[in-house]
Amino acid sequence: MTHSTKDIIERTATIGLGVDRLQALQSFNTRLVCMNVDESSYEEVVTGVWKVIGCDYCALFLKDPHSGQLVLQASVGYDDVSSGLRIPCDDPTSIHAQAFTEEYMVCLDDLSGTPGVNPLCHKMGSSLVLPVISNQGPVGVFDFGSNATHAFPPQEIGMCSMVVDQMSYSLENIRLVRELRDSRDAVIRGMALLSEIRDSHIGGHLSRICAMSRYLAERLVDRVGYREVTPSFLNTIERAAALHDVGKVGIPDSVLLKPGKLTDEEFDVMRTHSTLGADLLEGLIDDYGEYAMITMGAAVARSHHERWDGKGYPNGISGKSIPLEARIVSICDVYDALTSKRVYKDAWGHEETLQILREGAGTQFDPDLVKVFLSRPDDLVEIRKRYPDKEIKST
């Protein structure tokens, strides 16, 4: 939990802050308590710190537990710095790595006169990097920068330290919520894998659908007409896409694994997987409350076989009445299904599959999404290579 307002007033009075800054700090502290606790909050945290401090640059790096590198989560002012920038913790030219490994602040008053340092922005005159410490030890660093030299005297360092101290509690909450989410997602994804296991393919199809769905959604960012494609949307569709065929757990093997063409009656049974899956997920929502992955997953499960021209199932809706997430997964699912070998067919060629998607634009598929999806076909091949099928070996 964060410090009380009384604590803040006493500490700020000690370092002689003005009224405006005190009010900004109080507002930031209140926002930390009330904001959503998830990864989308990183940008809000950094922006809040930047408003309180008033420097030219701010950035938050957190350690990736898998690679051991510091990864940029959000920044302000660093226009030329790529999102997701990684800094090795053993980089001798990085003051971020130094602050993290030594668990102590690094303050450089004049970067132009400090050889052997590689700043994030070459216009920066001075820099202050503070370690972010949680109950588990150092988890990252927070970066403050100014175009002026000597911008961080002791009073300013005290203010920056106080703000980072406030922020560290919220970052710890985000970490704990992420661990809970990852555990929950693992259980849900395991449920989705049941239908894939029955088809003698583990991991490949679901992983490719998730990767392709995020890939297509990422290419819609800042494109006119797709304001709903936010960072939260990207993170959710990457996970929710795995639930598109969860309803197949209710389809009999005689239909699901039939090596030949389905009869009309069998196809009617197969088509019920969309409503079975949606009903299953909506039942979880009724019993346990809203959860973004489940909510989007239910929409995907129900509507990913709807068609742009209204001739799909189960409800025959058309055009943009079909949820965007379902229109995205529909394209990715067909591409992967056609290019994959199954008990009832051999894999189609890449170029042949692209032509099928082009022909389906405007009838089966959203034509704008098809155009975006096919604009860089080599990327699709790379995703397939990254997540190959692993067949079950019979003994």
* DSSP codes of every residue in 274-296: HHHHHHHHHHHHHHH---HHHHH
Q: Where are the alpha helices (DSSP H) in the chain?
A: 5-14, 19-34, 41-53, 95-102, 154-198, 204-218, 231-240, 253-256, 264-271, 273-288, 292-303, 324-338, 350-360, 367-373, 377-386
Q: What is the pLDDT of residue 173?
A: 67
Evaluate the omega torsion of the peptide bond into residue 314 and state whether it is cis, within 30 degrees of 0.
yes
**Sequential DSSP letters for 169-197:** HHHHHHHHHHHHHHHHHHHHHHHHHHHHH
Q: What is the pLDDT of residue 47?
A: 85
Q: Where in the chain is the domain with CATH 1.10.3210.10?
A: 199-391
CA pair distance 213, 319, nearest whole angstrom: 19
Sequence letter at residue 76: V
Q: What CATH architecture does domain 5-174 belong to?
A: 2-Layer Sandwich (3.30)
247: which 2 tokens?
């309803």
Q: What is the pLDDT of residue 63?
A: 87
Q: What is the CATH number of domain 199-391?
A: 1.10.3210.10
135: which 2 tokens?
């109950």
The dihedral sign for the CA sequence 302, 305, 308, 313: negative
Sequence letter at residue 155: Q
Which DSSP category does 365 fall into? B
Question: Edge-to-edge strand order for the sheet containing 70-76?
Answer: 86-87, 70-76, 57-63, 137-146, 126-134, 106-108
Q: Where in the chain is the domain with CATH 3.30.450.40?
A: 5-174
Closest CA to 231 of 252, 208, 214: 214
Question: The tokens 């080599």 sit on which residue?
Answer: 378
Judge contact between 93 and 99, C-beta under 8 A.
no
Q: What is the pLDDT of residue 28?
A: 54
Distances (CA, A) of 229 to 138, 320, 374: 33, 15, 19
CA pair distance 66, 68, nearest whole angstrom: 6
Q: What is the pLDDT of residue 174?
A: 66
One digit per residue, pLDDT tens: the chain, 395 residues?
A: 344 444 544 554 444 455 566 555 555 555 544 445 455 677 878 888 888 888 999 999 988 877 889 989 889 998 888 777 899 998 888 999 999 999 999 999 998 877 778 788 888 999 999 998 877 788 899 999 999 999 999 989 988 988 888 777 767 666 666 666 666 666 676 667 666 666 555 558 888 999 999 999 999 998 999 999 998 899 899 989 999 998 888 888 888 888 788 899 999 999 999 999 999 889 888 877 778 888 999 999 999 999 999 999 999 999 999 999 999 999 999 999 899 877 667 788 889 999 999 999 999 999 999 999 999 999 999 999 888 876 554 44
Closest CA to 316 of 283, 274, 357: 274
